[in-house]
Each structure stands twice: as structure tokens, then as C-alpha cells.
Chain A
């Protein structure tokens, strides 16, 4: 397998494989790593630590520069996401501390609800990853209903399906998504 695997193929590799490719100097893998976790890092900075867009952008840059420099320190390649989360948290706290007149310890800077927000972000990322692994038909119907807020009639017209069958199809796809999240394969098909 060559180093320059297409980005579309890289999007489906595991975090651990991605880390290994980055360590081997694969530029495309680095690009995929940033793409995969950029929204996550920005969300931690803006939602969990309520940084301004400018400060969040600075943290974003710092996180990926340090990741580039210190990826070798990562002991478990499967733990890339929590490692990035911890690095982002620390840099957010540094940014807040730098902006305040009095030095504050990290515990004091941890905002109320930060852990809950991080947990929600982790769940959202897990759902996003599970969705990416779903069959196209399921991914599209879930996206149309839950993200685009389309009605059953609009979905049915777009997909050439009777509107009366859309609710049951969504339920089956959600069951499959749940199975993906639980780490086991569903017992039956999706549509």
C-alpha cells in the first residue's frame, strides 16, 4: 500500500492507523487527522471553554502544531481523541489564564458544565463516526430528517419512497446506528 492513499480512503481508516501513517510522514494522513478532529477541537474551545472565535482559532493552531511535534509521545494510538481533548483543554486554560490579570489555577478556570459539554461533544463525535460508517441510504434518510428537518413527504419524494414508510425506515436506521455505537453488527438489513 502506497503512502499516498486517496483522502476518501483515509477517511475510513481507524484513528490508530491514521496515527501510524502520520508518524511515517504521510502528509495526506496529517491532512485527514486535522480534518477529522478540527470541529471537535474548535467545539471544545468555543462551547466548553467559551473562548472567542479568535482565541479558539489560536488554540486550534496550537493544538495541531503540538500534535505534529509530540505525536510520538502518544502511548496508545487508539487514544488519539482523548489525548487531543486533554491537549485542547490545557491550551484553553492557558489561553484564559493569559488573558486574566491574576494567575489562576486550572481547577478555578474549569467552567461549570465543562465536563458535561465535553461528554456531549464526545457523544456527538461518536455519532458522527458511526453515521459515516452507515450505508448511504440510512445516512441520507437520517440526515434529511434529523439535520435538515425535512418532512416525511419531502423525504419520500426525494428518495422515491411512499411517505407512509419513512418513519419505519428511520427507526430501522436508528436501530442500526445504535448497533454501530454499541460496537456490534445489527441483526437485519436497513431498508
Chain B
């Protein structure tokens, strides 16, 4: 038994809540899901974890570090819900498309766009939280939160792409516009921090 196998992976939970080894195995499998949305959610979760690490290791110089830890935990909890929704709505959308059921498609696709939009919202907030952390944490960890912001941007950008794809590229849709705005916000956060390293 390898060391990583000793870590309990609960396959009944969403991919995001599983351990890294299971995450990689399941994403690489020949099953329809988990796929891109879940992978993007996991990236956002890593970003939140990096913010948490920087805050935890900065308590001596940052009295309000606990506030950022609590916010990262809250955003992480939202990601878990989003990850579960992403898998479910994606499966339902694919099912309706394969069945060619117009009514089912009309019902399933909006939700399949809503879930990645929610992921983009959370990812953008993780980017903003990373900026807050970067400016207050022990500067030895500035690069950690810069990377957190970069990962958050990647997750937001990926999620925005899925919004467009699941809306069948109806880019005039308000959800697409909001997703693009969220990507811009996350990108700005990452660029700001990268320029400070």
C-alpha cells in the first residue's frame, strides 16, 4: 500500500472534496464526468488553500489573519457546493442533448451555464481575497498568494468559457457578460500581485 493510498478518499462525495489522487484518476477516466468544471473548481480550491496557508503563517505580523482564513473557508465551502452542481447539471445537459429533447435542452442548458458562472464568482472573490492577503501577510508568502490569484484567474477564465459553451455561444447573454467581467477582475488581481513580486 502506498502512502497516498492510506489517505481516505470518499468517492461518494464531489470530486472537489476527494483527495488529489482520486481527483486525477476520476478526471482522467473514460467516464463523462467529472470533467472540466470540476477540474476548474479544484484549481480554485487550491487557490483558496494557498491564501489560507499564507494567512496561517502570518499571524505574528497580521492580527486579522483569522478573518482571511475564515473567508477562505467560506469560499471553499461554496466551491464544494458548486462542484456538486457542476457535475450534475453537466450530466443533465449532455443527457438532454443526446436525447434530442428540445424541452429538456431548454431546461438543462441554463443551469449548466449558471453553475460555472457561480464558480467564476467564487474564483474572482478568491482573487480579491488573495490581494488582501498579499498586502498584509508575512511577505515571505507574497509569492504564494500571487500564485493563488493566478490559479483563481485560471479557474474564473475556465468557468467563463464553460458559461459560453453551455449557452451555445450566445455571448450577448447577461451571464456571459458577467463572467467576462469576473475574469477581468481576477486577471487584474493576479497582474497586480505579479507586478509586486
Task: Note all chain B residues with C-beta closer than 8 A to A153.
Answer: 121, 124-125, 185
Q: Are B124 and A170 in contact (CB under 8 A)?
A: no
- Is chain A's binding surface mostly helix, strand, loop or mixed? helix
| Contact size range, B | 10 to 19
Which of A163, A164, A171, A175 contacts B71 (CB under 8 A)? A171
Question: How far apart sit A139 and B14, CA to CA, in the bound complex (Å)?
Answer: 32
Q: Is A145 an interface residue (CB 8 A)?
A: yes
Q: Are A175 and B64 in contact (CB under 8 A)?
A: yes
Q: Is A14 an interface residue (CB 8 A)?
A: no
Question: How far apart sit A167 and B189, CA to CA, in the bound complex (Å)?
Answer: 13
Known contacts A164-B131, A171-B64; decide if A146 and B74 are in contact (CB<8 Å): yes
Q: Are A151 and B124 in contact (CB under 8 A)?
A: yes
Task: Note all chain B residues with C-beta closer than 8 A to A146.
Answer: 70, 74
The residues of B with any CB-CB pair to A shorter than 8 Å are: 63-64, 66-68, 70-71, 74, 78, 121-122, 124-125, 128-129, 131-132, 136, 185
Q: Is A61 an interface residue (CB 8 A)?
A: no
Q: Are A171 and B67 in contact (CB under 8 A)?
A: yes
- Taking CB atoms and an 8 Å cut-off, the chain A residues in 136-165 that contact chain B are 145-146, 149, 151-153, 163-164
Q: Are B128 and A170 in contact (CB under 8 A)?
A: no
Q: Are B67 and A164 in contact (CB under 8 A)?
A: no
Q: Is A172 an interface residue (CB 8 A)?
A: yes
Known contacts A146-B74, A167-B129, A167-B132; decide if A172 and B67 are in contact (CB<8 Å): yes
Known contacts A172-B67, A174-B64; decide if A163 and B128 are in contact (CB<8 Å): yes
Task: Note all chain A residues with C-beta closer than 8 A to B124.
Answer: 151-153
Known contacts A152-B128, A167-B132; decide if A174 and B67 are in contact (CB<8 Å): yes
Task: Note all chain B residues with C-beta closer than 8 A to A170.
Answer: 67, 71
Closest to A187 in B: B63
Q: Is A168 an interface residue (CB 8 A)?
A: yes
Q: Are B78 and A149 in contact (CB under 8 A)?
A: yes
Question: How far apart sit A178 and B67, CA to CA, in the bound complex (Å)?
Answer: 10
- Can you pick out 30 interface pairs between chain A and chain B where the beta carbons lie within 8 Å of each other? A145-B74, A146-B74, A149-B78, A151-B122, A151-B124, A151-B125, A152-B125, A152-B128, A153-B121, A153-B124, A153-B125, A163-B128, A164-B131, A166-B128, A167-B68, A167-B71, A167-B128, A167-B129, A167-B131, A167-B132, A168-B64, A168-B132, A171-B64, A171-B132, A172-B64, A172-B67, A174-B66, A174-B67, A175-B66, A175-B67
Known contacts A163-B128, A168-B132; decide if A175 and B74 are in contact (CB<8 Å): no
Known contacts A149-B78, A151-B121; decide if A174 and B70 are in contact (CB<8 Å): yes
Question: How far apart sit A30 and B53, CA to CA, in the bound complex (Å)?
Answer: 48
Question: How far apart sit A127 and B71, CA to CA, in the bound complex (Å)?
Answer: 16
Extra 6 A-B pairs, beta carbons < 8 Å, given A164-B128, A167-B132, A170-B71: A151-B124, A153-B121, A167-B131, A168-B132, A171-B68, A175-B66
Question: How far apart sit A67 and B68, CA to CA, in the bound complex (Å)?
Answer: 42
Task: Note all chain B residues with C-beta closer than 8 A to A145.
Answer: 71, 74
Question: How far apart sit A149 and B78, CA to CA, in the bound complex (Å)?
Answer: 8
Question: Distance in Å from the Cβ of A146 to the closest Cβ of chain B?
Answer: 6
Question: How far apart sit A166 and B74, CA to CA, in the bound complex (Å)?
Answer: 14
